[in-house]
Amino acid sequence: RRGLATVARSDAFANLTSADVEAFAKILPSPSQILTTIAPESGSASYQPVDPSELDTFNNDWMNKYHGRSQLVLKPKTTSEVSEIMKYCHAKNIAVVPQGGNTGLVGGGVPVFDEVVVQLGGLNKIRSFDEVAGTLVCDAGCILESLDNHIGEKGYMMPLDLGAKGSCHIGGNVATNAGGLRFLRYGSLHGTVLGLEVVLPDGTVMDTLSTLRKDNTGFDLKQLFIGSEGTIGLITGVAIATPRRPSAVNVAVFALDSYDAVQTVFGQVKKHCGEILSAFEFFDQTSFDVVQKHATAGVRDPFEARHPFYVLIETSGSNKDHDDEKLQLLLEHLMEEGMIQDGVLAQDETQLQGLWALRESIPEAAGKMGKVFKYDLSMPIDKMYALVQDMRTRFDEHGVHGEGNDVGAVCGYGHIGDGNLHINIVAKSYDPKIESIIEPYIYEWTSNVKGSVSAEHGLGLMKATKIGYTKTPESIEYMKKIKNVFDPKGILNPYKYIQV
């Protein structure tokens, strides 16, 4: 039961023994930092085994699609504890999977077999915040939302935001190079992350935790760890540039009758509100219906009728009257020109949250409806929706599409402003027959339009053999060389990322 990927456990890695757990118990001072199902040698009292169910949350992913069977979870609280753990694992050939908030969507943060889980939630201190420069230095296990609340009190905000903000760690965000809902405005973590502290697979601590914005002395090594998905080092500290929190935020949702209209409206919104635009998201009627039926907290439909497409736009500025006026004018213009069928502007914070919930609840609602095959693709904006329609046609042709059928819904939504499409195919089960209708078709389609098979969720286990659809053989060869430089024994997050 390891998702749909088929790989075999490598004999290169040691089988854990109680002596290994004893060694970790010497590194980690509190018994609560070790969760293991391995029984101690008789007479030993240095640790107590736990019921296997206590490891479930670490062995299974957010979608309950990928399942490992680790017998040991370690919860270090300091960089030096992480370093000592890795020195031991390196010496003994013990395979390790770094885990943050376990909200990843490609099976990258859970073990495939019996790898040791190093869970970084204990590294949760804010180290410093420079209120003039807006630079934050913190432990990697800090939760994104907690960081945003902390610096929010000082008038700043985190440069990224995602639906998983209440559980994901900043270290996990950096490791996956998460994009999210405001990428359009604040850009990639490759630009905002200023420095990292990383424990390498042999336990070496690499300190690049600079807060300098400009530093042209040699290779920018931290960039290698951004998006490396825990394959070349464990991130323990993050320095990040944070923008001022806007004093005026507006949100509007427009209803549209075609995907062409979505693209036209995107152009109009950039023309009228370009300098204050902070998000431009789209979702189709299927996604909207799934949210209306399955979101845990009922999400109110603000419109009188259902429409084929919706876009959510958010503006962030410093002058509410100015921004309100711009949005009002935009709305009138779009209505007069017949570019949108309907539109709502949030009048207060509750309505603003309600409109965001229409978009943010899609992954959760799809997960409530069934088992979700998730695809996260980059491609030219004009091509995006044709793929969603092609997928529906394929399922129709196989006679498996429609409510109550094996494939209950094909949802198309995403960060259209970034050319990032999400397709969520909601099925009754993770049936390999359904997967074979989707793959490799979806990857070939994406490759043919020169897209990427991962815009933001990463490769993980799901796409460990799919990178060739996007990257050239030469690039892959050099990536493998880089992996080998940092992790010649291959102990860090094996079976994932680049297995071609």
Q: Which residues bind ligand MLT (CB under 6 A)?
A: 105, 163, 362-363, 374, 422
Pick between residue 47 and residue 373 the one whose CB is nearest to ligand FAD.
373
Q: Cis peptide before 440, with omega less than 30 degrees from 0? A: yes
The residue among 100 and 370 lying less far from ligand FAD, judged by its C-beta, is: 100
Q: Would you count residue 99 as binding ligand FAD (CB under 6 A)?
A: yes
Interface pick for ligand FAD out of 76, 108, 237, 317 (rule CB under 6 A):
108
Q: Say which entry of ligand MLT, ligand FAD, none residue 430 contacts (CB below 5 to 8 A, set by partner kind).
A: none
According to DSSP, the residues that pair with 235 across neighbouring strands are 198
From the list ligand MLT, ligand FAD, none, partner contacted by residue 195 (C-beta under 5 to 8 A by kind): none
**Is 411 in a helix, a strand, or coil?**
strand
- List 89, 162, 252, 312, residue binding ligand FAD (CB under 6 A): 162
What residues numbered 20-79 form the site for ligand FAD, per CB under 6 A?
62
Number of continuous H segments (helices) and E segments (strands) in the chain:
17, 16
Evaluate whether 143 touches 162 at the Cβ level (below 8 Å): no
Q: In angstroms, give the least distance from the CB of 362 to ligand MLT.
A: 6
**Which listed option, ligand FAD, ligand MLT, none, makes contact with residue 422 (CB within 5 to 8 Å by class)?**
ligand MLT
Q: Does the footprint of ligand FAD cover residue 457 (CB under 6 A)?
A: yes
| 227: partner contacted, choices ligand MLT, ligand FAD, none (Cβ within 5-8 A by kind) | none
How far is residue 450 CA from its own chain's centroid? Answer: 22
Which residue, 24 or 183, has its beta carbon nearer to ligand MLT?
A: 183
Only one of the segments 69-77, 86-94, 178-186, 344-352 lies at the binding site for ligand FAD (rule: CB under 6 A); that segment is 178-186
Q: Which does 234 bind (CB under 5 to 8 A by kind): ligand FAD, ligand MLT, none?
A: ligand FAD
* Binder of ligand FAD out of 33, 37, 70, 102 (CB under 6 A): 102
CA dihedral 105, 106, 111, 117 (to 10 degrees): -50
Q: Which does 169 bind (CB under 5 to 8 A by kind): ligand FAD, ligand MLT, none?
A: ligand FAD
CB 210 within 8 A of CB 496: no
- Residue 218 CA to residue 202 CA, distance in Å, equals 23
**DSSP label of 473:** H
- Residues 347-366 as x/- pattern, contact with ligand FAD by CB under 6 A: ----------------xx--
Buried b (16+ CB within 10 A) or exposed e, 329-344: ebbeebeeeebbbebb
Nearest to 346 by CA among 380, 323, 370, 371: 323
Q: Residue 250 in contact with residue 346, Cβ under 8 Å?
A: yes
In terms of Cα–Cα distance, which of 194, 217, 221, 190 is closest to 206?
A: 221
- Cα(189)–Cα(427) distance, rounded to whole angstroms? 33
Rule CB under 6 A: choose which of 86, 120, 365, 421 binds ligand FAD: 120
CA distances, 347 to each of 181, 194, 317 (Å): 21, 37, 16
- Partner in contact with 120, chosen from ligand MLT, ligand FAD, none, beta carbon below 5 to 8 Å by kind: ligand FAD
Q: Binding ligand FAD by CB under 6 A: which of 68, 111, 159, 179?
A: 179
Helix (H) or strand (E) holding 420: strand 420-427
- The verdict on 414 binding ligand FAD (CB under 6 A) reads no
If you search the block for the tokens 């006026």, which residue do you land on? 325
Q: Please name every residue paired with 452 in a beta bridge, in sequence order, or none if there are none.
A: 378
Angle at 21 (CA atoms; ends 17, 25), nearest 5 degrees? 165
How many residues form the binding site for ligand FAD (CB under 6 A)?
A: 38
Among residues 2, 77, 90, 169, the one that binds ligand FAD under rule CB under 6 A: 169
Residues found near ligand FAD in the complex (CB under 6 A): 62, 97-105, 108-109, 120, 140, 162-164, 168-169, 171-173, 175-176, 178-181, 229-230, 234-235, 363-364, 456-457, 460, 493
